[in-house]
Amino acid sequence: MPQVFVPKEVVEGETRIACTPETAKRYVKEGFEVVVESDAGRHAHFTDEHYRNAGAKIVAGAEAEAAWGSADIVLRVYPITPEEASKIREGAILIGFMSPHKNLESVRILRDRKVSTMAMELVPRISRAQTMDALSSQASISGYQAVLMAATYLDKYFPLLMTAAGTIQPAKIVIMGAGVAGLQAIATARRLGAVVEVSDIRPAVKEQVESLGGRFIDFPLDESGEGEGGYARELTPEQLKAQQKIVRQKVVAADAVITTALVPGRPAPKLITADMVADMREGAVIVDLAVEQGGNCELSKSGEMVLEHGVTIIGHPNLPAATPADASLLYSRNIQALLLSTLSEGEVVLNLEDEILDGVLLTHNGEVRHGPTAEAL
């Protein structure tokens, strides 16, 4: 009977959990032994009793420490630390976000301990893997929370209001990037009554933007900005400069800007320069969802709220954690779909010929299988 261990998240501010009572119950039904560290689900409001009722075993203290070395499978949300990586038994399976380019020491330890690491950010973008796509499930929550945060700190209403004292014009919102986070941000901002303009270098997303009530900002690019897997590709310096020129007019006139632009494996493109911020009106707000990859705004700082030229710039590094119950629900289902896809006659079988496993395995059998990470090491 394979043992699944769900430890507490150790990073401050991480409120999500990789296994909810719902998924724990399914694992038990499939023949797994589920071990959960006491209070692991507390921040997402899942109690130890909830897990016991689902058939899981609760451990604490020395028992929890021992579980690292006895578990066949460890489930995580936030990238594992080097100290934790050293506790996992050799040949075990680790599933969770890894951010390998920023956690090379952990990757090195996992490689040397022959741990099979399934990095959730490496799930291929194919139709068969949609139920496993944790980047999308968490990005949707980020887009939603970004708009709520902008509405909270903006100095005016989002909707058009007609009152006895006169008419209040709707807020003008610019959203940069129409991926999953951007599309959810558009939908949320429109529900709140704002006028929304959207920039993206991929012409293919124009129809999606307009279907949600946003106005698409066209860019005169010589070729499509779409890259591998539907993500945006990195622009040339000339193309980026042309994009900034068009975006500048929109940003300066905006009440709030939400940036979501990311290029896989690269630093986030700088779309909002310091001089753009200087020309924005005092009281405006920028929410930078790309801050952990360097930020789309030159002035944003991870984990900080910066005030420059009267503009509030929010660099929250983990917005999904602000909605821990639903974020955990979706993330744990992503992991469940991935893990159960490996089952064969009650055993976990890592078939490297499977396109999903071939893409998601960061380390396996003492090797780093992800090219960019192997090169960085």
The predicted-structure confidence for 93-123, as pLDDT tens digits, reads as follows 999 999 998 899 999 999 999 999 999 999 9
Superfamily of structural domain 139-322: NAD(P)-binding Rossmann-like Domain (3.40.50.720)
Distant-in-sequence, close-in-space partners of 374: CB < 8 Å, separation ≥ 6 = 367, 368
Instruction: Kindly state the average pLDDT of the residues 195-207.
Output: 90
Q: Quick one: which of 190, 153, 187 has its CA closest to 170?
A: 190
Q: Quick one: which of 94, 99, 19 has its CA closest to 334?
A: 19
pLDDT at 267: 79
Lowest mean pLDDT among 45-54, 183-192, 247-256: 247-256
Instruction: Kindly state the average pLDDT of the residues 228-243.
Output: 62
Lowest mean pLDDT among 163-167, 216-220, 223-227, 340-344: 223-227
The predicted-structure confidence for 18-62, as pLDDT tens digits, reads as follows 999 999 999 999 999 999 999 999 999 999 999 999 999 999 999
53, HSE (Cβ side, Cα atoms, 13 Å): 8
pLDDT at 235: 60
pLDDT at 195: 97
The predicted-structure confidence for 261-284, as pLDDT tens digits, reads as follows 887 657 788 889 999 999 999 999
The domain ranges of the chain are 3-122+324-366, 139-322
DSSP state of 144: H
**Is residue 207 classed exposed, middle or buried when 0-12, 13-18 and 19+ CB atoms within 10 A define those classes?**
exposed
pLDDT at 244: 73
The predicted-structure confidence for 66-99, as pLDDT tens digits, reads as follows 999 999 999 999 999 999 999 999 999 999 999 9
Residue 1: band (very low, low, confident or very high) from pLDDT cuts 50, 70, 90: confident
- Write the CATH number of the domain with boundaries 3-122+324-366: 3.40.50.720
High-pLDDT (> 70) share of the chain, %: 94
Domain pair 3-122+324-366 / 139-322, same fold: yes
The residues that are catalytic are: 125, 130, 133, 136, 231
| Contact present, 94 and 117 (Cβ < 8 Å) | yes
pLDDT at 264: 65
